[in-house]
Chain A
């Protein structure tokens, strides 16, 4: 992974966490949507900071061990590994679709209509994105 990308993950994480923290102080007395948003932003930010730091530590370690870095680069660019990742991703698309459909069904049974319609939206976006990407790659390849 490029060092620039590693830094971007860390900086975006810090920014998201800071916004979340700021919102927590601003809406400290509120117990509604905004405080939930603040908590979610803090969580996402903390996650990204963790990932960014982990990538940076890994990058520094690999700098001191060029042989291992070369081996990892080969593993990453290895065509069989790429093929495996693509195949796993393709199967995961179907699994995600089934999971979203199951969630939709659950919310419908519970008669919880807002999450039901949200899931319905995600379900169709998921399918539309698939066909848009197929059309993009048909032109590219």
Chain B
């Protein structure tokens, strides 16, 4: 699963720390999400989408395995 977290965060000039505080997660979690090492739960995915005011599927792009 790809996501646009880093791109949208940088567009809005927010640091990982600020985003982590807003989402009530650790900064390391934000880093892992951005690197694609960790896929969030539905709850966190919705929280992230709401924070950036976009749909979940705009933030997280599911790519089927070939």
Per the bound structure, the CA–CA distance linking A83 and B37 in Å amounts to: 12
Count, chain B residues at interface, CB 8 A: 12
Q: Which of A71-79, A98-106, A126-134 contacts B (4 or more CB under 8 A)?
A: A71-79
- A83 to B38 Cα, complex, angstroms: 10
Q: Taking chain A's interface residues, is the majority helix, strand, or loop, or is none over half, making it mixed? A: helix
Interface residues of A in 76-95 (CB under 8 A from B): 77-81, 83
Chain A residues within an 8 Å CB radius of B20 = 74
CB-nearest residue of chain A relative to B29?
A80
B26: interface (CB < 8 Å):
yes
Residue of A nearest to B43 (CB): A79
Question: Contact residues of A with B, CB < 8 Å?
Answer: 74-75, 77-81, 83
Chain B: residues with CB nearer than 8 A to chain A? 20, 24-26, 28-29, 32, 38, 40-41, 43-44
